[in-house]
Every structure is written in structure tokens, then in C-alpha cells.
Structure 1
């Protein structure tokens, strides 16, 4: 698993923001989620983040392929653009 965030503009503690989450990429045993932090008043991008999530089998202690059901559900939210 890995995560990173690129801050574009300052976000203040009392700011109300919208975080749009989507599936950016789907691999054999992992997937990448994208996050857009948006200021709703001006529809301005404040930050962009990504997280790579690995499907992990705790019993065998290694990654395992995503199931067909998982792939079907994730593909509904797949977006390729940043």
C-alpha cells in the first residue's frame, strides 16, 4: 500500500470542502483510488491524492487476485483522468 497527496492551495481548518473519490486504476491484486479535494464555492481543486490498495489474504500472508465481483463493482467507478 502507498499513499501520497499533492496540495495545490491552502486548506483552512474551518473550510468546508468536498472530497470526490474514484477508482483510477485496477490491477490483478491491487487498485488505485484517486481523491480530489474541491472547494465547492468556486469548484477549485485544493489537493489531489492517491492510494494504492492491495487485496491481501491474511491467512496465506500474501496478496491475492481481486475477485470477479470486486472487479465488476470497481469498474463502475473507474476514471482514468486526474
Structure 2
């Protein structure tokens, strides 16, 4: 079950990337593995309609880099459905 506007994925990806910025972070290798596993899992489906990427490439949310879309229509629908709550602006 998914509740619009309550996805942990953008925030988890944001903080994992933030941890990688710190060279002295002790679990850097673990974070890298977790980050790539999370991205590989979510980038194969449209965040809105759940359509598989297949041979076509999905477009990424440029604000948070935590959601992938099959087109502009899906991106707008997902934004209105609650992604704007989850989306974290990166630096």
C-alpha cells in the first residue's frame, strides 16, 4: 500500500547521498551499497503509474533525484498527488 505524499524513498536517498559527501563517515562502503540497491530498485518503474522501464528510459525528478517518471504527465500527476511533500531539494 502506498500513501501519496508519504514515500520514504526521496528522503532516504537524500540522506544516503549526504552521508557520502563526508569522507570521514565510517560506514561509507555500506552506504554506497545501500544507495545503489535503492536506486536500482526504484528506477525501473514509473513512480506514478508503476509502468516498467523496459527498453525506454525513465526521466528522473531533477529536484530530489529520488523519483523516476515515464513522461511529463506522470510527473505532474505524481507531484499533485503528494510528491511535493516528499521531494527534498538538493544543493
**TM-score of the superposed pair, with normalisation by structure 2:** 0.27
Question: Which structure's residues are more often strand, by fraction?
Answer: 1
For the pair shown, the structure with the greater C-alpha radius of gyration is: 1
Question: Which structure's residues are more often helix, by fraction?
Answer: 2
